[in-house]
Structure 1
Amino acid sequence: MNIPGTFGRDIAEVLADPGPRRQPMAGFDADYHDIVHYILTCTHRIWEQKDIGLIESHYAADCPIWTGAGPAQGVAGVVAGTLRTLAAFPDRTLIGEAVIWSGNERDGFLSSHRIISTATHHGAGEFGPGTGRRIAFLTIADCLCRANLIVEEWLVRDNSHIVLQLGLSPRGVAAATPPTAAARQWWASEFARVRSTLALATGDARPDATADPQAFVHWFAGTVLARRRLAWMRQAYAPAATQAAPGGRRLIGHGEIIGWWTAFLSNFGDAQLVVDHVAAQPVSADPSDGIDIAWRWTLAGHHDGPALYGTPSGREVVVLGVTHWRIVGGVIAAEAIVFDELAILRQVMVPA
């Protein structure tokens, strides 16, 4: 089954796709040819074409949306959030860098859609009054889709990068937008879930990322990260691998990538991590182009280190993250990690 991804395809080509349906998609509109085409096309129609009402026929009425800042539920909230974002960034353009999916029409498709957005901050919104500044930022939306509807979504956005490009302070914005009671309750439940989950049972030997993506993800999460065997990242990454990390960080090579992971983990000395979902798809029909892997994860730990998020507070912290890998020759050639650093700052700054 050949389901074209985003590699080498312009959105105009995607939208003009005249081909027949490429996979069984019971209940989906007839003009969607496959799950990648569905995600890219409806995203373009809603955001670039401003067909915001399309959300009502593409989201379940009670769809839960999970973000680092807390949960939301219902299609009305999605419509309202889209309107607010477009009011602040009316020229926002979304470039789909990858759609990495798993599943089927019976159980549902789970798509992990990585987007680089460009936008001009013209209007007032969650980041204050318009500044006129031009920005770019990463977002990943994991969507569970059944019968033409998104029935659950996990949304992560590099909010600290947005804030920094607008000339603002992440700590200042976090302090000015304290968490809701619903967010605090969700963080507590997620902290308990992660801390009560058994550690991943993984060995020292690195699995073949191309042959067994799931085992490779579990080895990386359970051995390299959970057991802090960070030197083994040299086995996992190509020497000239690239990494996009929160805050707009762009890193290259073993030294910089291992350095970022070291700094991040050092903030939460007792951190535990669970892998919530893994998907993998070939980049193209040419095996030499490699495969793409998406994995969603949740980290829970106490803020006991000062590296990135200020003076240790001892607070419980939950991080909802999604990582995308381009695997070439069995190792990571490119990595994109997205989570909300403003949500972390709200947790370490919130009064006990």
Structure 2
Amino acid sequence: MTRLISPDFTPPCRTDVPAFARALSNRLWEDRNIAGLDNLLAPDVILRTPDQVLHGAGAVLAALLAERAACPDLQALCEDTIWCDTTARQGDGEPGFLCANRLTALAGHSGDGLFGPASGTRLRARMMLDVWCTGDRVREGWLIRDTAAIHRALGQDPKSAVRQSLSQDSGLESCAPPLTPDTDPDGAYGGRGDDSPTGDHLSDLVKRIMTGEFSAIAHHYDRACALAYPGGTDEIGHLAAERFWMGLRSAFPSASFRIDHCMGLKDAGAAPRAALRWSLYGKHDGFGAFGPPTGAYVYVMGMTHAEFGPHGLRRDWTLLDVAAIWKQILLATGAV
């Protein structure tokens, strides 16, 4: 690969997407020259998080500053990057790529602000970030943080923490609206991924699970599969996978499920991996991971990374923003 990624990075980050991804995570969350990010972010960049949509480089920089204020020693460790070339798929011939990054954030909660008064608590939470880059700049992003892991480390129940935050914001009038089909802007990137057999296999598997075919887990997951789910939950085996996916689906049994982006990668000397970004939209009309049904319309943006071995899917990292889901339920029901 010889594509120029960004003149703001030094080799090998200009020609190696995983190296770029590691450098990007460092620049976004650790580098002290935040003003220098103007050279990396497109002026009209869009960053979608389940909690809100950020429009423009200024809004993204403000959000990063808020995180730095709460956690000055934050580290964002890039675990893996799965990516695809988007040049041909965009149709304009401009070089570009989309990379799905899986990170672990480590930080001390030593500052007031985003997570309440400083507590001194050590935090560890996974993040997943999809980034589309073209024209030597980050143009669009999709970011999920494990908010459940953060709240639990701080001794908070996610639902109660969200209710308290909404109460302080005076509810819907003051808080930023969460990501939903109504608030999701039309972006410049219209791709759905690549044609990787590994990505297609994962996509088909998750679709089958989310349409109620939970037996697909026993058929296609390694019996000793390692699982990483929201709340900093690390488990192993088929029963734990069934419990997570069933708990999510049963909370929204009539909601529509869609694969929004799918890609796979097979590097030399590495196991086949795949990355999905998916969504679930509909009523909270069932008992499951979010308590008794409320009838609230909820939009769930989720991401799944997987690694495959000789006995099937052997690692499943799936992330969604539990706090953002509770935010939508509480706002819809007025229980703030």
**TM-score tier after normalising by the smaller chain length:** 0.7 to 0.9
Distance change in 2, residues 1:183/1:332 (3 Å) = farther
Cα displacement string for residues 146-170 of structure 1 (whole angstroms, at most 9, x for unaligned residues): 1321100001110111011011121
Distance 2:79 2:6 in 1: 27
Distance 1:301 1:149 in 2: 34
Q: How does 1:72-151 map to 2 (within 5 A)?
A: 72-104=54-86, 106=94, 108-151=96-139
Moved more, 97-106 or 313-322: 97-106
Q: How does 1:15-34 map to 2 (within 5 A)?
A: 22-25=1-4, 28-29=7-8, 31=10, 32-34=14-16
TM-score, normalised relative to structure 2: 0.86
Distance 2:48 2:158 in 1: 21
Counterpart amino acid of 1:50? R
> SS at the partner of 2:182?
helix
Counterpart amino acid of 2:121? R
Equivalent in the alignment of 2:32: 50
2:295 aligned to 314, 331, 335, which one?
314
**What's the CA shift for 1:71?**
1.0
> SS at the partner of 2:47?
strand
Distance 1:113 1:339 in 2: 15
Distance 2:124 2:215 in 1: 32
Count residues with an aligned counterpart: 310
**What's the CA shift for 1:171?**
1.2
Give yes or no for contact 2:199–2:275 (8 Å, CA) kept in 1. no
Whether 1:326 and 2:302 are equivalent positions in the alignment is no
Aligned Cα RMSD in Å? 2.3
Distance 2:332 2:6 in 1: 47
Runs of 4+ residues over 6 Å off in structure 1:
none
Cα displacement string for residues 118-144 of structure 1 (whole angstroms, at most 9, x for unaligned residues): 110001122211110001000011000
Whether 1:239 and 2:227 are equivalent positions in the alignment is no
Equivalent in the alignment of 1:285: 268
**What's the CA shift for 1:260?**
1.3
**What's the CA shift for 1:215?**
2.5
Distance change in 2, residues 1:330/1:144 (3 Å) = farther
Distance 1:185 1:92 in 2: 25
Whether 1:256 and 2:237 are equivalent positions in the alignment is no
**What's the CA shift for 1:249?**
1.4
Equivalent in the alignment of 2:192: none
**What's the CA shift for 1:188?**
4.9
Unaligned runs of 5+ in 1: 1-21, 194-209
Distance change in 2, residues 1:236/1:158 (3 Å) = same
Equivalent in the alignment of 1:272: 256
**What's the CA shift for 1:83?**
1.0
Cα displacement string for residues 268-324 of structure 1 (whole angstroms, at most 9, x for unaligned residues): 111221111112122x422xx311111100111211223221221111111011110
Distance change in 2, residues 1:147/1:256 (3 Å) = same
Distance 1:294 1:66 in 2: 17
> SS at the partner of 2:43?
coil
Cα displacement string for residues 174-226 of structure 1 (whole angstroms, at most 9, x for unaligned residues): 112337569648525279x9xxxxxxxxxxxxxxxx97123313322332322
Whether 1:36 and 2:18 are equivalent positions in the alignment is yes
Distance 1:337 1:222 in 2: 14
Distance change in 2, residues 1:257/1:185 (3 Å) = closer
2:158 aligned to 166, 170, 179, which one?
170
Give yes or no for contact 1:55–1:78 (8 Å, CA) kept in 2. no
TM-score, normalised relative to structure 1: 0.82
Equivalent in the alignment of 2:189: none
Distance 2:325 2:81 in 1: 27
> SS at the partner of 2:62?
helix
Distance change in 2, residues 1:180/1:112 (3 Å) = farther
Whether 1:217 and 2:196 are equivalent positions in the alignment is no
Distance 1:46 1:263 in 2: 34
Unaligned runs of 5+ in 2: 88-93, 187-194
Equivalent in the alignment of 1:59: 41
Distance change in 2, residues 1:185/1:211 (3 Å) = closer
**What's the CA shift for 1:27?**
5.7
Give yes or no for contact 2:3–2:95 (8 Å, CA) kept in 1. no
Cα displacement string for residues 88-126 of structure 1 (whole angstroms, at most 9, x for unaligned residues): 011111111011111155352101111001110001122
Distance 1:112 1:130 in 2: 32
Distance change in 2, residues 1:87/1:262 (3 Å) = same
